[in-house]
Amino acid sequence: MNIIVCIKQVPDTSEVRINPETNTLIREGVPSIVNPFDMYAIEEGLRIKEMIGGKVTAISMGPPQALEALKEAFSLGVDEVILISDRAFAGSDTLATSYTLSKAIEKIGLFDIILCGKQAIDGDTAQVGPELAEHLGIPFVTSVKKIDEIREGYLRVHRMMEDGYDVIETRPPALLTVVKEINEPRPPSLKRKIQAKNLQVPVWRKEDLDVDEKRLGLKGSPTQVLRIFPPEIKGERKILEGNLEEQIYKLVSELKGLGIL
């Protein structure tokens, strides 16, 4: 099986904050990481390969620094990595990103399974996977928590829903977006980590892809961020006085007063 894993390098969002006075982001020293959901996608790709054979290719679209994410994927065991990077791709929203990725995947050619994370933690959109599948004209299943069976021409997965899961059958080539429950990612191997250091990561630029320029980057992005602002701080902090029992009594009466009880 030829497996392609799409990974994104993201700022560790838990550390991004907004300065309420200037409405600008405070990013001091926020590290870049591989999007956590994509780590599960990488692991699942490796497991499929180990089970039935094949090749795993990790691709990422982003600025030159994104090659760090690809090196991390390599140290985990993927066979090949490709960076898709060009100034013309800057400012891409999910539509332009998925279009560009689809063109890179068409260039790779043969594939059976594409794995994406359920969502990227910077934008949390969960749109790139399904949009990518649509551009490629292949079926997809989102929020996959288990690959039940996979073989040549057959795929059965569990799709997580709010109140349970659907068991779904499809045929490769197909795209899956995965959630955390699907596996437990392995640690990188030391040997591959060392190899990754000196790895020459191929970079595909605009000219390397058969793309319509109007559909790239900012020009090809129908959505725009108009402005950003800090979230409202909800409710004030209330002090509960007295011993434990009194505090609990106070809490319950407050909740009652708020109409929750």
Partner 1 sequence: MIRIKREICTGCEICISSCPYGAIEMVEDRAFITEMCNLCRACLSACPVGAIIETEESRLPTTDSRLMDFSGVWVFAEQRRGKLHDVSLELLGEGRRLANILSTELSAVLIGSNIEKEAKTLIAYGADKVFVADDPSLSDFHDDSYGHILAGLIEKEKPEIILSGATSIGRSFIPKVAARLRTGLTADCTRLGLDGKILHQIRPAFGGNIMAVVICPNRRPQIATVRPRVFKKPIPEKGRKGKVIKVHVPEDISLRTKTLEFVKDLTSTVNISEADVIIAGGRGLGDAKNFRLLEELAEALGGAIGASRAAVDAGWISYPHQIGQTGMTVSPRLYIACGISGAVQHLVGMQSSDIIVAINKDPDAPIFKVATYSIVGDALEVIPLLVKKIKEVRG
Ligand X SMILES: Nc1ncnc2c1ncn2[C@@H]1O[C@H](COP(=O)(O)O)[C@@H](O)[C@H]1O
Give the footprint of ligand X on this chain (CB under 6 A).
Answer: 6-8, 35, 37-38, 41, 60-62, 94, 97, 101, 116-117, 119-120, 123, 125-129
Structure tokens at 26: 């405070």
Residue 165 contact, options ligand X, partner 1, none, Cβ 5-8 Å cut-off depending on partner type: partner 1
CB–CB of 254/238 below 8 Å? yes
Which is nearer to partner 1, 65 or 195 (by Cβ)?
Answer: 65
Give the list of residues 6+ apart from residue 140 with CB closer than 8 angstroms, or none: 129, 130, 133, 174, 175, 176, 177
Which is nearer to ligand X, 1 or 42 (by Cβ)?
Answer: 42
203 near partner 1, judged by CB under 8 A: no
Q: Which of 114, 106, 142 is nearest to 1 (CA)?
A: 114
Query: Minimal distance in Å, beta carbon 181 to ligand X?
Result: 15
Binding segment for partner 1 (CB under 8 A), chosen from 48-56, 185-193, 197-205, 235-243, is 235-243
Binding segment for partner 1 (CB under 8 A), chosen from 17-25, 41-49, 50-58, 199-207, is 17-25
149 near partner 1, judged by CB under 8 A: no
CA–CA separation, 253 vs 233, rounded Å?
23
179 near partner 1, judged by CB under 8 A: yes
Strand partners, 4: 57, 114
Residue 61 contact, options ligand X, partner 1, none, Cβ 5-8 Å cut-off depending on partner type: ligand X
Residues 62/105/183/140 CA torsion (nearest 10 deg)? 120
Query: Minimal distance in Å, beta carbon 105 to ligand X?
Result: 10
Distances (CA, A) of 238 to 2, 109, 113, 213, 243: 57, 60, 52, 56, 16
- E strand segments, 7-73: 9-11, 17-19, 24-26, 32-34, 55-61
225 near partner 1, judged by CB under 8 A: yes
Residues in region 21-80 near partner 1 by CB under 8 A: 22-28, 30, 32, 36-37, 63-65
